[in-house]
Structure 1
Amino acid sequence: MLNPADPAAPLAGSVPSPYGPDPAELGGLPAAVARARARGELVVQPRMGFGTVSRMRAGLTAVHDCDAVSVGTVTVDSFTRVNDHDSARRALAGGADLNGFPLVAHGPTTTRRMLDGLLSEHFPVQVRHGSALPYPLFQSLTEAGLTATEGGPVSYCLPYSRTPLDDSIEAWSRCCELLASTSRPGAVAHLESFGGCMLGQLCPPSLLIALSVLECLFFRQHGLRSVSLSYAQQTSPAQDREALAALRRLAGELLSGMDWHIVLYTYMGVFPQTRAGALALLGDSARLAVTAGAERLIVKTPAEAHRIPTIEENVQSLEHAAQAARGARAPATAPEPVPDTGIYREAAALVERTLALHPRVGRALGQAFRLGTLDVPYCLHPDNAQRARAVIDDHGHLRWASVGAMPLPRPASSAGARLTSTGLLHMLHYTQRRYDVPAPTPRQHAITTVGDKERAAAPLPTGD
């Protein structure tokens, strides 16, 4: 583990070996990502899900045929996420418009038929859900022949439910073992940690990195050989580049011998209200993925600020992101140097302290949250210590205002202690304000590139 006398020292006992087994032998999502990586292309993916078989198949077909290197997504509905499958069945019978695909209610046979002719070596499909207790869903997706899904015992418990964390950890242990047991040559199960997306925003990068790595270590301990680590685009491109470099370094040190890759999420907080602003933010996320070396991007659409996007809007966003990614690869200029503000050291310290609590990663995670060793800012789950706080500084960087009991340097500023509801709302809308700028008048100069230098943060109010 880290040498306390040298906080920059690498984690001992690890060999940086980024990619483990040959992904071509694994098949499915790992092989698709590896082929794209070899061609220098970014894989783009929607969050798309529809209630009926016909619309879900039409959506997957459109993603399959779009002008992008894409993989398919089946996102489940809100009834399925909370295991209310009877309500999902009643909704289907009554013709209700569900907000996702009720995979358990439809059943494995129907799902197999829906995927017939689409699911292939070159077009894998991932199930996305949001469930803290997803065992019935894992049963259905594996019986339907699907080998890729996502989530995690922390990342799909703390933000989305009041399920006790220990119950989620136990459920996810069984889910991982079930998923791993379905692996076969050419179709090895793949699980993506959602840990890098906690609450979508206002969580400093070091904790996102630590949670993503810890969940992948949990997956490995329960039999999985292929994983992906997530990170959600935050409020500063420079900070995001540093964070993605730190995530890759830490994963290389701790996940050697496994197949793994990094997936970036287009900003998950309050999205721009204007189409121009939304597309600018989406394009910036694609360029960030390329320049920071992420292999896969989960996109958002301009419609998501207002409603569930259509199939056509999902495809337009995939193609917009793919075009931006191709453009980011074109210039033969030297990459910008990655800053070092200590994100790697913070993330490594959180992982080290957590793993020291128990040899079983699940038990260590539960203990870490009980002790406050891990503490998600602004997360109201009963098992979260709720002592950590974060702020956006004058450069647009997410900084710790309070670290609670986490093994991190104490922040010099006490801004978090003064933060009010007005200040919190101001931060939540920070990115939306940056991108929803008015169209320039003839007397103004248009800003064509969004970045830290072009749009500085407005001061945060500290009182109502």
Structure 2
Amino acid sequence: MELSVKQMDPEEFGRQRQEVLTAWPTGKEVDFDEAVAYQKELPAAKVMAAKLAQGKAKGVTYAQPRAGVALISEHIELLRYLQDEGGADLLPTTIDSYTRQNRYKEAQGGIEESRSIGRSMLNGFPAVNHGVMACRRVVESVGVPVQVRHGTPDARLLAEVTLAGGFTDFEGGSISYNIPYAKDVPVENTIKYWQYVDRLVGLYEENGVRINREPFGPLTGTLVPPSISHAVGVIEAVLAVAQGVKSLSLGYGQCGNLIQDVAALHTLPLLAQEYLKKLGYPEVMITTVFHQWMGGFPQDEAKAYGVISWGAVAAALGKATKVIVKTPHEALGIPTKEANAAGLRTTKQVLNMLRDQTLPQTEELTLEEKMILRETRLILDKVLELGEGDMAVGSVRAFQAGVIDVPFAPSRFNVGKILPARDTTGAVRILDFGCLPFDREIRDFHQERIARRGRDEGRDPSFQMVIDDIYAIGKGMLVGRPRG
């Protein structure tokens, strides 16, 4: 089909659906009308969109971990533990890497090996292989909403199985689950794949079932300037709403400077609302998701708790609707359920303490908000210009031109010319702008802030600063200053 932001043609959706549902035997279990009926019977306490709307209205920040293992009973045990011992307000089902690459045969081998060895040999839950009824067992085993979290460029079958299985939230998007995760998948392809996912969600919506959609905000997770992640989030919001999605959670990954992080959380929903209105789309529910630090962690658990707590502070003061929680074992590999629960309890303690506090609207906070808004608008307006008003076409052309450029991404469809670095306060700035469509005032702002850091450290700004900043938090700092 020809690429366009417009809603998918029903015949094209039906043609793809026949192909998608035959990609693995469990696709035969999907019955849309029966799935709609099942979703409608779920209590409101298990519906993510309803829970997020409630949190937004009350000004509450919910805590959600990441978690997933290979076998059904063990996965249920893990989620119950995180709910009961960790106090998780919302739960995930993190999908394994084989499923993310549509390698269902290898995922099946991982299931069988896990059964024979007695422990999970996959780094997540292979939902497609387990099928619709197994997913329902997971949803029915806990008392809070459960979200599908993954990293899949082509998530069409995963969406069909898990939404029929009762999950009420589906994470990801055509850019955020391609550019940071894949090397050789064209952006045009993933836009089309994810238009199918969003159209499926739109069909549930039209039949009285609200599924929340959450584009993945952090992208590559390390030193991503807010304007770049915001631009991607707004694009994925527009693409989703065009297919009929009515509930969106827009994500942002912690950079580490409190003022910049709060400014980012303030501006993200404003930009989404602005561009949806500008392009003539209906008003939808928009909530925010804050991801605790996605880069390297200290190996020392006590230091790791410090990083987790700082993320909780930013989420609370930025009034995020949800925070995705890290664990004190981030530097060591897949965490134990006990470590995962400990990260949750740490986060919830901070959230509860700061629930009634706000960050004053200082001159510096206002400046950060102004810069994020200006930078993001310049990117998005250029995307629309390149696409002649079509956000889908413009996104492909923007990546080709480097107008959108995600730092440290593996995709060969990403130009990879920009370089971020921290300023002397720890805010993420841009050292090399590549082909970003920024004006002289914005460029001067970034260059002056990084130059000030150079003067403070007695060195010229260079690629070494970037390297130092990537490893800084793992070494117990925020800004990667030379030791001496």
TM-score range for the pair, normalised by the shorter chain length = 0.7 to 0.9
**1:428 maps to which residue?**
470
Structure 1 residues 25 and 142: CA distance shift in structure 2, 3 A? closer
Distance in structure 2 (CA, Å) of the matches to 1:239 and 1:418: 21
Aligned match of 2:414 in 384, 396, 416? Answer: 384
Structure 1 match to 2:248 = 227
Which deviates further from its counterpart, 63-72 or 359-368?
A: 63-72
Alpha carbons 1:394, 1:458 under 8 Å: kept:
no
Determine the structure 1 residue equivalent to 2:352: 326
5+ residue gaps, structure 2? 1-42, 115-119, 278-282, 455-459
> What residue in structure 2 maps to residue 18 of structure 1?
none
Residue of structure 1 equivalent to 2:222: 201
Query: Residue 70 of structure 2 aligns to which amino acid in structure 1?
Result: G
Residue 367 of structure 1 aligns with an amino acid whose one-letter code is R
2:199 maps to which of 162, 177, 194: 177
Counterpart of 1:101, as a letter, is F
> What's the CA shift for 1:425?
3.0
Aligned to 1:304: 330
Q: Which amino acid aligns with 1:181?
A: L
Going from structure 1 to structure 2, the CA distance change for 1:433 and 1:339 (only over 3 Å counts) comes to farther
For the pair 1:259 / 2:285, whether they are aligned, the reply is: yes
Q: 2: distance between equivalents of 1:365 and 1:51?
A: 36
Q: How does 1:310-389 map to 2 (within 5 A)?
A: 310-330=336-356, 335=360, 337=362, 338-341=365-368, 342-358=371-387, 359-389=389-419
Is the alpha carbon distance of 1:117 and 1:198 closer, same or farther for their aligned partners in structure 2, counting shifts above 3 Å? Answer: closer
1:393 CA displacement: 2.0
- Given candidates 105, 122, 129, the residue that maps to 2:129 is 105
- Residues 288, 221 of structure 1: alpha-carbon distance in 2 compared, 3 angstrom cutoff: same
Shift of 1:157: 0.5
Q: Secondary structure at the match of 2:411?
A: coil
Alignment of 1:114-153 (within 5 A): 114-118=138-142, 123-153=144-174
Structural mapping, 1:39-50, within 5 Å: 39-50=58-69
- Name the structure 2 match of 1:458: 481
Relative distance call for 1:459 and 1:394 in structure 2 (3 A) is farther
Q: Is the 8 A contact 1:221 1:361 kept in 2?
A: no
Please give the alpha-carbon distance, in whole angstroms, between the structure 1 residues aligned to 2:349 and 2:45.
29
Show the counterpart of 1:442: none
**CA–CA separation in structure 2 for the residues paired with 1:45 and 1:199:** 20
The 1:237–1:362 alpha-carbon spacing in structure 2 relative to 1, beyond 3 Å, is: same
Structure with the larger helix share? 2
CA separation of 1:425 and 1:403: change in aligned 2, threshold 3 A: closer
Task: Measure the CA separation in 1 of the matches of 2:343 and 2:256.
Answer: 21
Cα distance in 1 between the residues matched to 2:407 and 2:395: 17
Report how far residue 26 of structure 1 moved: 12
Alpha-carbon contact 1:391-1:427 (below 8 Å) kept: yes
Structure 1 residue ranges without an equivalent (≥5): 1-23, 436-454
User: Is residue 292 from structure 1 mapped to residue 332 from structure 2 by the alignment?
Assistant: no
Deviations along 1:187-215, one digit per CA (max 9) or x if unpaired, are 30111011x21210122111111111111
Deviation of the 1:45 alpha carbon: 0.4
Q: Deviations over 1:203-239 (max 9, x none)?
A: 2111111111111111111111111110000131121
Local SS of the residue matching 1:218: helix
Q: Please tell me the root mean square deviation across aligned C-alpha atoms, in Å.
A: 2.6
Q: How many residues were matched structurally? A: 413
Instruction: Report the Cα offset of residue 330 of structure 1.
Output: 5.0
- Paired with 2:295 and 2:359, the residues of 1 have a C-alpha distance of 31
* One-letter amino acid matched to 2:213: L
The aligned counterpart of 2:300 is: 274
State how far apart, in whole Å, the 2-side matches of 1:67 and 1:84 are: 32
Matches within 5 A, 1:56-75: 56-66=75-85, 68=87, 70-75=89-94
Matched, 1:86 2:105: yes
Equivalent-residue separation in structure 2 for 1:61 and 1:156 (angstroms): 28
Q: CA deviation at 1:183?
A: 2.8
- Is 1:405 equivalent to 2:432 in the alignment? no
Aligned to 2:51: 32
- CA gap of 1:68–1:187, structure 2 versus 1, over 3 A, is farther
- Alignment-derived partner of residue 11 in structure 1: none
Written as runs of structure 1 = structure 2, the 5 A alignment for 1:152-167 is 152-162=173-183, 163-167=185-189
What is the percentage of aligned positions where both structures have the same residue? 30
CA distance in 2, matches of 1:310, 1:159: 26
Q: Is the 8 A contact 1:231 1:264 kept in 2?
A: yes
Letter in 1 for 2:111: L
Cα-to-partner distance string for 1:33-77 (whole Å, 9 max, x where unaligned): 222334443110011111111111012212332464611100001
Structure 2 CA distance, aligned partners of 1:129 and 1:297? 17
- Structure 1 residue corresponding to 2:265, chosen from 244, 251, 256: 244
CA shift for structure 1 position 401? 1.5
Q: 1:69-88 deviations in whole A, cap 9, x for unaligned?
A: 61110000111010000011
TM-score (norm 2): 0.79
Distance 1:433 1:389 in 2: 21
Instruction: Summarize the Cα distance change of 1:50–1:208 in structure 2 as closer, same or farther, 3 Å threshold.
Output: same
Q: Which amino acid aligns with 1:146?
A: F
